[in-house]
Chain A
Amino acid sequence: MKFDSPAGDNPIDQLKVVGKPHPRIDGPLKTSGKATYAYEWKDIAPNPAYGYIVGSAIAKGRITSIDIDRAKAASGVLAVVTAQNAGKLSKGNFNTAKLLGGPEIDHYHQAIALVVAETFEQARAAASLISVDYKRGDGAFDLAKSMDSAKAPPEGWSGPADTAVGDFDSAFAGAPVQLDAEYYTPDHAHAMMEPHATIAAWQDDALTLWTSNQMIDWSVGDVAKTLGIPKDKVRMISPYIGGGFGGKLFVRADAILAALGAKATGRAVKIALPRPFIFNNTTHRPATLQRIRIGTGKDGVITAIGHESWSGDLPGGGAETANSQTRLLYAGANRMTRTRLSVLDLPEGNAMRAPGEAPGMMALEIAMDEMAEKLGMDPVRFRAINDTQVDPEKPERRYSMRQLTKCMEIGAEKFGWDGRNATPGTRREGRWLVGMGMAAAFRNSPVTKSAARVRLDKRGVVTVETDMTDIGTGTYTILAQTAAETMGLPIEMIEVKLGDSTFPVSCGSGGQWGANNSTSGVYAACMKLREAVTQALGFNPQDAVFADGKVRSGNRSAPLAQAAGSNGLSAEDFIEYGDLDKQYQQSTFGAHFVEVGVDAHSAEIRVRRMLAVCAAGRIINPTSARSQVIGAMTMGVGAALMEELVIDKRFGFFVNHDLAGYEVPVHADIPHQEVIFLDEVDPLSSPMKAKGVGELGICGVAAAVANAIYNATGVRVRDYPITLDKLIEKMPAIA
C-alpha cells in the first residue's frame, strides 16, 4: 500500500479497539517471568556453553602481547577467541569501531577476547587469567579542547551540517534584545534494564541468534557483513527486549562474539554483557557543547536565531545534531545552524532516545527561558508569539499539523502556571525554595516502509507476523488493536508474533517511528486480507463490512472463520510513502511543566510535580502512550539532575561505569506526573493518522526542570546535570 495522498475515512476510524486504553497483551507473560528475553531462552539449543568477554584496559594504543595459555588451560574452558584466531572480520555498516579489537585498540573496554566455558563461573574465572600488555597511544578525550579541530560532518539523517536563511549576523547584531550563551550536555548512557545479551548457534553454515535488538533487518545485515556470510544465512530472533533507548539499534559485541564462540566450540554459546562493561563497551549519547544566539525586537518577535553544536566521536563516527530542532521550532527571518564534529577516542557515540533533539532542547529551551526573562515576558507567551505554521527555513512547507501553542495554553491552565512568580527565589515553603518552569517539546515523526503478514485461520484467529520489535513500548498491543479494528475482531482473536528475521521486514523500533509505521504496515496487510476474505466468500468487496467477527455484504453475512477454510488465508503487504513528508513538515509537539523544590540550605533539588501535554496525532493506545511519555519524562529528570558519564580525561574512559555510579532516577525522585494528549488526528501522516510519542516525551523536560530551578533559586545553570554543587555557592542567603 502506498500512502501518497491524505487519508480519508477508513476502518481505523471506527475506533472500536484503536484509541482505547487496552492493557498490554504481553503483560501476563512478563509479570509471570515467561517472556523469553535474550538470555532466558531454554531448550532452543542443546547444552549451551557460556561466554565471558575481556575488555581493553586502555582507551587508545595497541596490544603488544596477549597471553591466553592460562585461560585455555583453566577448568571447563572450551575456547578462547581473540582477533588473532577469529579469522577475518569486517565492520558492520552501523558500527563505528570494531566489535572485536586488537591489536589496535579504539576505545576503553573494547572487546579483545572471549572465553567460552562449560559454566558462566568458569568462563569468568578464566577471563581473569588472560594477561595483556599494551602500548598506550595518545588519544583525544576532551570535547572542549577538540573544538578547534572540529569539522563539518557529511550530510546525514538530520540534513546538512550547516543551514542559513537571511542574514543572521547583521540581524543579531542589530537586535534590541539579545542572548548569546553556551550550554553543555554530558555523555549519557542508555542504562536499559536488560543488558545486551545473545545466544548463538550454528547449524552447518547457518547462524541463529537469539538476542535483544531493536532493528532486526539492519542487524541481520550487519551480522552477515561482520562475519562475511550471506545475509540469508543469518536468522535473528528478538521477541522481547528489556529496554533499548537506541542502545540496541545495532549489533554489539555480545552477538558477534557469541557467533564466534559458537563457531569455535561447535556449541551454542550464551553471552550477556556484565553491567560494568556496558557503559564503555557499547554506545552512548555523545556530549555536546552548544552556542545559542537569539535576537528579538522589544516586542519579543525573534528576528535572529542561531544554534551551533559541537560533539565528538571516534574516526568515521557521526555528530550529535543538537541544533536540528532549531531549524524548525520557532519563527525568525534570519537564521543559522552549524554542526561540527571532532575526533574523540572515547567509546562510540550513537543514537539515544531522541538523538539531536533531546540534548538540543535541553539547551534551546533554557535559552528561550532566558530570553523571555530579558524581555520581561511570560515564557509561554514568548514561545507562542514566535510560533510558526510553516517550516521556517522553507516557508513553502506547511506543518501537517502543529498545535504547540494549544499544548502550552492547556498545560499552563492545568498546571496553575499563573501562580508562578516570575521573580526568582521568592517562594519559600518550609525548608524548600519552590519554583516552576516550562519548556516546549518537539520531535519529528519520520515515515518509513514497514511490512507485515497476516494469517486468518479456521478458528477465526488472525496472526500478525512482522520483524517489528517491542522494546517495552507496547508494540504487541497496538499491532493487535490495529488488526482487530481492521478485521472487525475483538483483540482476543489476534495473535502477534514479532522480532523474527523470517517475518516481513518492518520499520523496527527507533526514532519514534515504530508505532505509526508498524501499525500502518499491519493495516496494509489486513486490508489485503480483507480482499482475500471477500473473494473467498464471494462477497462484493466494495460494500463488505467487517464487524463483530463477521463479514456482511448486502443481506449476506458469514463468520470470518468461514472464509479461512481449512487451510487458512494469508496476506502480506507493506506501507510505503509518497512525498507527503516532503510537502509537509511532520512533527510532534508538546509542552512540559515542572515544579521543583530546592533545599534552601543544602541545595538538594527535588522535582515536586510534572505535567506533559502532547499533540502527536491519533493516540493508538492511551495507556501505552502515557507509559511512554512518563518514562520519557523520568529520563528527562535524569538528564536534568543526575545523568552524566564522567570522563577521566587522562585515561579516556567513563569512570562511573555501573548503576551505582551512573545514577538514574529512582521512584523517590518522581513524585507526581500527569500526561494529557490532545485529541488529534493527522490524515497526512499515515492511514493510522498517528505519530510517535516515545521521544517527544523526553524533549524539553530537562530544560523545564532547569528553568524551574532558576525560578526557585535565581541560579542559572547551563551545564548539565544540574547538581547541587553548581548551585551551592550562589544560593540565596538563608533567611
Chain B
Amino acid sequence: MKAFSYERATSVQQAAASVAGTPGARFIAGGTNLLDLMKLQIETPGHLVDVNGLELDKIEKTGDGGLRIGALVRNTDLAADKTVRKDYGLLSRALLAGASGQLRNKATTAGNLLQRTRCPYFYDTNQPCNKRKPGSGCAAIGGINRNLAIVGASEACIATHPSDMAVALRALDAQVETMRPDGTTRTIGMDSFHALPGTTPHVENDLAPGEMITAVTLPVPVGGTHIYHKVRDRASYAFALISVAAIVQKDGSGRVALGGVAPRPWRIEAAEAQMPQGAKAVTAQLLAGAKTTPHNAFKPALVERTLAGVLAQARS
C-alpha cells in the first residue's frame, strides 16, 4: 500500500472539487473494495476524500412516486427498507445475494456501482492487465476465464462487472444522480452508466474526474413478480457465474437483466418482447453474438436454463 493523505469532505461539491483537483485522489465511503485493492497495490491513490460524513444516507419518495436512494445508504439498510422490499423486491433480493452481512453493513449504494472486476489477472500485479495497467495486455484472454464475459467484451478486456445490485438497478430502469466539481448536477441512466471496455477497459463508467454520485433514483414501481437468481458454485459468499434478474408480469411480459456475463449489467430491451415465447427466444437475442471460451462456453446454456427456471417460478 502506498502512503496517502486523507481528508474528510465537508460538502459534496467540496469533495468533488478536491478529487478533481488532486492528482491520484479517490473518494472513499465503505471502502470494502478500495481498501483491499490498495493493500494489493492495485489501486494506489495518493489522496483519499472520505465522504462518509455527507448526509447522503436517506431513502425517500420522489415527487413522481419513485424512490431516491442516497449514495451512502448502506447495502444492508437498502435491502431491508420496507418500500424497497414491497415495491422493488428485485433490488432487495439482489443485494442480499451479494457479499456477506458484514460487508453489506459497510458497503454503500454508490460504492457498489463502482466495484471493480474480480478477474483474477486484475488482482495479480505480476500479470498483464489492460484495466489495471493500460497497454500491458490481457492475460485473461487465453488464460483462466471461466468467470469472465461472453458479451460486451473486447480484444483488450473480457472482465465482468461483479455487482448484483447493479443488475437489479438496470432492470428497474434506475438513474444515477451526480454532482460535478463546479456544482452542476446531472442524471445518468443505468443503461449508459457503465462503459464497455473497447480499447479503454480502465474507463469503467461515464463519470468525469471528480464527478460524485449523490443518489440513485428508481421510477414508479412496475409491479409484477420479482426474481433474482444468482448462480454460483457455493451457496453463499461468491460472485455470480451468471445471474438473472427478472420482473415478470401476469401476462408473461416483463424485463430481464443478466449479471456475470458482461462488463456491465446486461440488458437488451428488445429481447424482452420475446418473454411470452420463453427463455430460449429471450436468451438467443440477449446473448446474440456471444463469444465464449472453452472455460465459459457453458454460460449461454446456463442463462437459458436458469431463465427458464425463473419464468417457471414466476408462473407458479
B309-A600 in contact (CB<8A) = yes
With A431-B313, A599-B309 already in contact, the answer to whether A663 and B234 are too (CB < 8 A) is yes
A461 to B: closest C-beta gap in Å: 42
B127 within 8 A of A: yes
State in angstroms the CA–CA spacing of A725 and B301 once bound together. Answer: 9
Which of B235, B298, B313 is packed against the most chain A CB atoms within 10 Å? B235
Question: How many chain A residues have a CB neighbour from B under 8 Å?
Answer: 42
Q: Is A665 in contact with chain B by the CB < 8 A criterion?
A: yes
- Contact status A656-B313, CB under 8 Å: no
Among A276, A655, A658, contact of B121 (Cβ-Cβ < 8 Å)? A655
Q: What's the nearest-Cβ distance from chain B to residue A49, in Å? A: 18
Closest to A721 in B: B233
Q: Please, which residues of chain B bring their CB within 8 A of the CB of A124?
A: 1, 39
Q: Which residue of B lies closest to A75 (CB)?
A: B3
The yes or no answer to A601 lying at the interface (CB within 8 A) is: yes
Residue of B144, B233, B241 near A655 (CB, 8 A) is B144
Across the two chains, which residue of chain A brings its CB closest to B238?
Answer: A663
- Is there a chain B Cβ closer than 8 Å to A668's Cβ? yes
User: For window 582-619 of chain A, which residues contact chain B by CB distance below 8 Å?
Assistant: 599-604, 606
> Among A128, A650, A660, which residue has its beta carbon within 8 angstroms of that of B142?
A650
CA distance A632 to B74 in the complex (A): 37
B231 within 8 Å of A (CB atoms) = yes
CA distance A436 to B31 in the complex (A): 44
Q: Which residues of A contact B209 (CB under 8 A)?
A: none
Separation of A734 and B301 alpha carbons in the complex (Å): 13
Q: Given B126, B235, B238, B298, which contacts A606 in the complex, CB threshold below 8 Å?
A: B235
Whether A150 is near chain B, meaning CB under 8 Å from some CB there, is no
Residue A669 at the chain B interface, CB threshold 8 Å: yes
CB within 8 Å of B: which A27-61 residues:
57-58
A677 at the interface (CB under 8 A from B): no
Known: A651-B127, A666-B235. A431 touches B309 (CB 8 A): yes
Give bound CA distance, A602 to B304, whole Å: 9
Is A264 on the interface with B (CB-CB < 8 A)? no
Residues in A462-521 with C-beta less than 8 Å from chain B: none
Contact status A646-B144, CB under 8 Å: yes
Contacts of B118 in A (CB 8 A): 660-661
Task: Report yes or no: B1 in contact with A121, Cβ–Cβ below 8 A.
Answer: yes
A608 to B308, CA, bound (A): 24
Q: Are A666 and B309 in contact (CB under 8 A)?
A: no
B144 and A724 within 8 A (CB): no
Tell me if A648 is interfacial: C-beta within 8 Å of chain B. yes
Q: Is the CB of B234 within 8 A of A648?
A: no
Q: Residue B289 at the A interface, CB < 8 A?
A: no
**Neighbour of A669 across the interface among B127, B235, B309, CB < 8 A:** B235
CB distance from B303 to the nearest CB of A (A): 10
* Distance A125 CA – B237 CA, assembled complex (angstroms): 30
Separation of A663 and B235 alpha carbons in the complex (Å): 11
Are B234 and A602 closer than 8 Å at their CB atoms? no
- A723 interfacial contact with B, CB 8 Å: yes
Question: Inside 8 A of B126's CB, which chain A residues have their CB?
Answer: 57-58
CB distance from A476 to the nearest CB of B (A): 30
Residue on A nearest B303 in the bound complex, by CB: A602
CB-defined contacts of A600 to chain B, threshold 8 Å:
309
**Which residues of A, 116-168, contact B by the 8 Å Cβ criterion?**
121, 124-125, 128
Residue B250 is within 8 A (CB to CB) of chain A in the complex: no
B233 touches A601 (CB 8 A): no
Q: Is the CB of A728 within 8 A of B234?
A: no
Contact A666 B3 (CB under 8 A): no
**Interface: B306 (CB within 8 A):** yes
Q: How far is the CA of A666 from the CA of B99 in the complex (A)?
A: 12
- B301–A668 touching, CB < 8 Å: no
The reply on A678 being an interface residue by CB < 8 A is no
User: Is there an interface contact between B123 and A276, defined as CB atoms closer than 8 Å?
Assistant: yes
With A641-B233, A641-B234, A655-B120: A725-B146 Cβ-Cβ less than 8 Å? yes
Contact B302 A602 (CB under 8 A): yes
**B309/A725 in contact, CB under 8 A:** no
Q: Is B41 an interface residue (CB 8 A)?
A: yes
A667 at interface (Cβ–Cβ under 8 A)? yes
Among A602, A641, A728, A729, residue most surrounded by chain B Cβ atoms (within 10 Å): A602
Interface membership of A642, Cβ < 8 A: yes
Question: What chain A residues lie within 8 Å of B313 (beta carbons)?
Answer: 431
Q: Which residues of chain A from 717 to 734 have any CB-CB distance to chain B below 8 Å in the complex?
A: 721, 723-725, 728-729, 731, 734
Report B-chain residues with C-beta under 8 Å of the C-beta of A528.
Answer: none
CB distance from A603 to the nearest CB of B (A): 7
Q: State which residues 12-59 of B face A: CB under 8 Å.
A: 39-41
B239 at the interface (CB under 8 A from A): yes
Q: Is the CB of A648 within 8 A of B237?
A: no
CA distance A125 to B1 in the complex (A): 5
Give the docked Cα–Cα distance between A30 and B232 (Å): 33
| Whole-angstrom CA separation of A436 from B197 in the bound complex | 46
Task: Give complex CA distance A53, B43 in Å.
Answer: 20
A276 to chain B, nearest CB (A): 7
Q: Does A657 contact B (CB under 8 A)?
A: yes
B289-316 CB contact bits vs A (8 Å, 1 = yes)?
A: 0000000001001100110110011000
Of all chain A residues, the one with the shortest Cβ separation from B2 is: A125
Q: From B121, B126, B229, B234, name the one whose CB has the most chain A CB atoms within 10 angstroms.
A: B234
Contacts of A603 in B (CB 8 A): 302, 305
- Would you list which residues of chain A between 699 and 735 have a CB under 8 Å from chain B? 721, 723-725, 728-729, 731, 734
| Cα-based distance from A734 to B241 in the complex (angstroms) | 21
Query: A656 and B234: CB pair below 8 A?
Result: no
Check if B124 is an interface residue, CB within 8 A of chain A.
Answer: yes
Q: Which of B142, B235, B309 contacts A668 (CB under 8 A)?
A: B235
A728/B309 in contact, CB under 8 A: no
Chain A: CB-nearest residue to B279 = A601
Kindly state whether residue B236 has any CB partner on chain A within 8 Å.
yes
Contact mask B228-268 → A, CB, 8 Å, 1/0? 01011111111101000000000000000000000000000
Q: Are A728 and B298 in contact (CB under 8 A)?
A: yes
User: Is B120's CB under 8 angstroms from A661's CB?
Assistant: yes
| Cα-based distance from A728 to B229 in the complex (angstroms) | 16
CB proximity of B253 to chain A, nearest CB, Å:
21
Question: Bound state CA distance, A668 and B236, in angstroms?
Answer: 6
Query: Beyond A648-B143, A725-B146, is A666–B302 a contact (Cβ under 8 Å)?
Result: no
Residues from chain A with Cβ under 8 Å of B144 in the complex: 646, 648, 655-656
Which of A601, A661, A731 has the most B CB atoms < 10 Å from its CB? A601
CB of A668 within 8 A of CB of B146, answer no
Q: Are B302 and A724 in contact, CB atoms less than 8 angstroms apart?
A: yes
- Which residues of A sit under 8 angstroms from B309, Cβ to Cβ? 431, 599-602
CB distance from A360 to the nearest CB of B (A): 24
Q: Do A729 and B234 have beta carbons less than 8 Å apart?
A: no
Closest chain-A Cβ to B241's Cβ sits at a distance in Å of 7
Closest to B44 in A: A128
A215-B22 Cα distance, complex, nearest whole Å: 53
- Between A and B, 24 residue pairs with Cβ closer than 8 Å are A121-B3, A124-B1, A125-B3, A431-B313, A599-B309, A601-B309, A601-B312, A646-B144, A651-B127, A651-B143, A655-B120, A655-B124, A661-B118, A665-B234, A666-B234, A666-B237, A667-B236, A668-B234, A669-B234, A724-B298, A725-B298, A725-B302, A728-B301, A734-B305
Nearest 4 interchain pairs by C-beta: A601-B309, A668-B235, A57-B126, A725-B298
Chain A positions within 8 Å of B, measured between CB atoms, are 57-58, 75, 121, 124-125, 128, 276, 431, 599-604, 606, 641-642, 646, 648, 650-651, 655-658, 660-661, 663, 665-669, 721, 723-725, 728-729, 731, 734
Q: Which residues of B contact A (CB under 8 A)?
A: 1-3, 39-41, 118, 120-121, 123-124, 126-127, 139, 142-144, 146, 229, 231-239, 241, 298, 301-302, 305-306, 308-309, 312-313
Given contact pairs A599-B309, A666-B236, a sample of 7 additional A-B residue pairs in the complex whose CB atoms are under 8 Å apart: A431-B313, A602-B305, A648-B143, A651-B139, A655-B143, A725-B146, A728-B301
